[in-house]
Amino acid sequence: MQHLAIFPILIPMLAAVFMLLPPLGNSVTRHRIFAVSMMIILVIASAVLLLTSHQQGTQVYVLGGWQPPFGITLVADRLSTMMVLLTSVLGLGAQLYACAGDDNEGMFFHPLFMFQIMGVNGAFLTGDIFNLFVFFEVLLIASYALLIHGGGKQKTKANVHYVILNLVGSSIFLFALGILYGTLGSLNIEDMAQKVRLLDGNQQALVKTGGLLLLVVFGLKAALLPLHFWLPKTYAAASAPVAALFAIMTKVGVYSILRVHTTLFGEDAGALASIAVPWLWPLALLTLIMGAIGVLASPNLRLTAANLVIVSVGTLMLAIAMQREAATAAALYYIIHSTLVTGALFLIADLIGKHRGKAEDRYVIARNMNHSTIIGIVFFIAALTVVGMPPLSGFAGKILILQAAQGMTEIAWVWPAVLLAGLASLVAISRAGTTLFWRSKGDANVAEPISKLKLIAIGLLLCASPMLVVFGGAVTDYTSLAAAQLHDSSALVDTVPLGGNQ
């Protein structure tokens, strides 16, 4: 199928537009059925795209037939298709959970959700750095609206900070793009990667500025240390399905750093090779430590989950800073694991909050919880996974990252930091579990049934964890191939035909 590569962008966009039109508009039930069925189609399309690009090589979709580097391309290689499939699965889980009632708190939940998915998928698939900016804006404006969906003081307050920060981030992004275009004369990532090697001294300084400005922007999205302060409050204020979907948003930043600073400023970039690495090392370590402190200090489960997102970003950044294939492969495995499990954890936090009456998900003594058995089981599985205990995927992911550090001098930093952050998460999550489930007194609140859809949604996200271990061999083979593709700059030249200017 020639047009397969654009489907992950087209399907959510058309779905969102159709939901605004009269036959589907104004009826939540019709929205739900339509949105979920479109999402299932999207998951299937992403899976087919992943298989196609895995077996037949990178799929390059040239929009409008304008050949690169002048036209705009979508590049579906192993890494981007993997991220697209991950987004679709996470989106399906969050959406099923929302269908149980959270989508009814305001209007147009499902169209906004679809636009957000479109932006995220587009950011993963695009091979053009200006289009990366455009898709960033698409996903951001959808996320602004989703964050405030349902209204409330907390949400407005969090949203003001989030919007202002990201608007400043967008301006910096454009400054960086202006610098890069002014010196390199191209916006196609593969083309830029080739031109970076041919620069003279003055231009190198300019391009370095541009590249590091991009690191600031992506660091803001990924919640890297000095730019992470917005994350915990924002994620804790958002409604549960939105917070679960936002678990992929930090990964968009991580992906962009991976793409730009391995392809564009990779090992072959001459004097500009690995310009981000001296910054990434200390920032990643400090992010990990700050995340661990945040996890220990959180007063409720939502904030704990938000801080666990920061811990996962720190771990991923450590793996990226290593700049070697094995580490990138490990990071990709860890991305799949951490996105799905933190998404599930946000949903579980909401479920617990709904069944504890006024205490919500705060760590205080409260009345007994209804349905504590089933909620306890899913919490236990999620906790084991997110902390990184065997036999679930968190353990495998951490082992891979620790193994990848072997033979480097930085191992003295990586191992203690990752292991101590794991210990901090273990302590915090155990305390959370004992307080939430065991330290209770008095009768239960009025029994309120758990919606089946919510359990299905959480189950869907959580079952990924054992699957990642059972099919661990296949997954790690795939991530190694994806990492090899990302690091091998000569492969890109073959896949993306650069006509015209050669």
Partner 1 sequence: MEAIYAFCVGILTTCGFFLVLRGRTFTVVIGLTLLSYAVNLFLFASGRLTLDGAAVLGQSEQYSDPLPQALVLTAIVIGFAMTAFAVILAMRSRADQGNDHVDGQIPDKSKKTSASVKRNS
> In the 3-class helix/strand/coil scheme, how is 1-44 assigned residue by residue?
CCCHHHHHHHHHHHHHHHHHCCCCCCCHHHHHHHHHHHHHHHHH
Query: Judged by CB, which is closer to partner 1: 148, or 461?
Result: 148
Site string for partner 1, 392-411 (x = CB under 8 A): --------------------
Residue 239 interacts with partner 1 (CB under 8 A): yes or no: no
Query: Judged by CB, which is closer to partner 1: 237, or 396?
Result: 237
Query: What is the nearest approach in angstroms of partner 1 to the Cβ of residue 221?
Result: 16
Query: What is the nearest approach in angstroms of partner 1 to the Cβ of residue 336?
Result: 31
Site string for partner 1, 244-263 (x = CB under 8 A): --------------------
Residue for token digits 């035909």? 497
Max distance between CA atoms of the chain, in angstroms, equals 77
Following DSSP, what letter does each residue of 305-316 receive, concatenated?
HHHHHHHHHHHH
> Is residue 134 within 8 Å of 21, Cβ to Cβ?
no
Nearest to 351 by CA among 22, 97, 49: 97
> Is residue 297 within 8 Å of 456, Cβ to Cβ?
no
> Is residue 365 within 8 Å of 441, Cβ to Cβ?
yes
Residue 3 interacts with partner 1 (CB under 8 A): yes or no: no
Query: Judged by CB, which is closer to partner 1: 109, or 333?
Result: 109
- The dihedral through the CA atoms of 325, 331, 335, 341 has a sign that is positive
Crossing angle between the packed helical segments 78-99 and 472-487, to the nearest 10 degrees: 130
Which one of the spans 83-91, 145-153, 254-262, 298-306 is the region binding partner 1 (CB under 8 A)?
A: 145-153
Residue 279 interacts with partner 1 (CB under 8 A): yes or no: no
* Residue count of the chain: 502
Buried (b) or exposed (e) across 340-363, using 16+ Cβ within 10 A?
bbbbbbbbbbbbbbbbbeebbbbb
Pair of tokens at residue 369: 């919880």
Residue 181 interacts with partner 1 (CB under 8 A): yes or no: yes
Query: What is the nearest approach in angstroms of partner 1 to the Cβ of residue 153?
Result: 5
Query: Judged by CB, which is closer to partner 1: 165, or 411?
Result: 165
> Which of the 8 DSSP states describes residue 104?
G
Which one of the spans 148-156, 368-376, 404-412, 413-421 is the region binding partner 1 (CB under 8 A)?
A: 148-156
Distances from the Cα of 494 to the Cα of 54, 74, 181, 219, 491, angstroms: 16, 15, 23, 31, 5
Residue 209 interacts with partner 1 (CB under 8 A): yes or no: no
Query: What is the nearest approach in angstroms of partner 1 to the Cβ of residue 366?
Result: 28
Residue 445 interacts with partner 1 (CB under 8 A): yes or no: no
Residue 182 interacts with partner 1 (CB under 8 A): yes or no: yes
Pair of tokens at residue 81: 């298709």
Residue 500 interacts with partner 1 (CB under 8 A): yes or no: no
What residues contact 182, with CB distance under 8 A and at least 6 apart?
206
Question: How many beta carbons lie within 10 A of that of residue 302, not counting itself?
Answer: 25
Interface residue with partner 1 among 144, 279, 413, 437 (CB under 8 A) is 144
Residue 148 interacts with partner 1 (CB under 8 A): yes or no: yes
Question: How many beta carbons lie within 10 A of that of residue 63, not counting itself?
Answer: 15
Question: How many beta carbons lie within 10 A of that of residue 447, not counting itself?
Answer: 8
Residue 107 interacts with partner 1 (CB under 8 A): yes or no: no
Residue 143 interacts with partner 1 (CB under 8 A): yes or no: no
Query: What is the nearest approach in angstroms of partner 1 to the Cβ of residue 137?
Result: 5
Residue 75 interacts with partner 1 (CB under 8 A): yes or no: no
Query: Judged by CB, which is closer to partner 1: 170, or 274?
Result: 170
Q: Which residues pair with 116 in a beta bridge?
A: none
Could you give the CA distance from residue 304 to residue 280 in angstroms, rounded to a whole number? 24
73, containing H or E segment:
strand 73-76
Query: What is the nearest approach in angstroms of partner 1 to the Cβ of residue 213?
Result: 12
Query: Judged by CB, which is closer to partner 1: 14, or 168?
Result: 168
Residue 415 interacts with partner 1 (CB under 8 A): yes or no: no
Query: What is the nearest approach in angstroms of partner 1 to the Cβ of residue 135?
Result: 11
Following DSSP, what letter does each residue of 115-157 receive, concatenated?
HHHHHHHHHHHB-BHHHHHHHHHHHHHHHHHHHTTT--HHHHH
Residue 205 interacts with partner 1 (CB under 8 A): yes or no: no
Query: What is the nearest approach in angstroms of partner 1 to the Cβ of residue 36?
Result: 28
Residue 37 interacts with partner 1 (CB under 8 A): yes or no: no
Binding residues with partner 1: total (CB under 8 A): 28
> Is residue 17 within 8 Å of 24, Cβ to Cβ?
no
Query: Judged by CB, which is closer to partner 1: 161, or 362?
Result: 161
Pair of tokens at residue 367: 């009345």
Distances from the Cα of 357 to the Cα of 153, 317, 353, angstroms: 20, 38, 7
Residue 189 interacts with partner 1 (CB under 8 A): yes or no: no
Query: What is the nearest approach in angstroms of partner 1 to the Cβ of residue 344?
Result: 30
Query: Judged by CB, which is closer to partner 1: 181, or 279?
Result: 181
Interface residue with partner 1 among 137, 325, 360, 488 (CB under 8 A) is 137
Residues 151-180 contacting partner 1, CB under 8 A: 151-153, 156-157, 159-161, 163-164, 167-168, 170-171, 174-175, 177-179
Interface contacts to partner 1, rule CB under 8 A: 130, 134, 137, 141, 144, 148, 151-153, 156-157, 159-161, 163-164, 167-168, 170-171, 174-175, 177-179, 181-182, 187
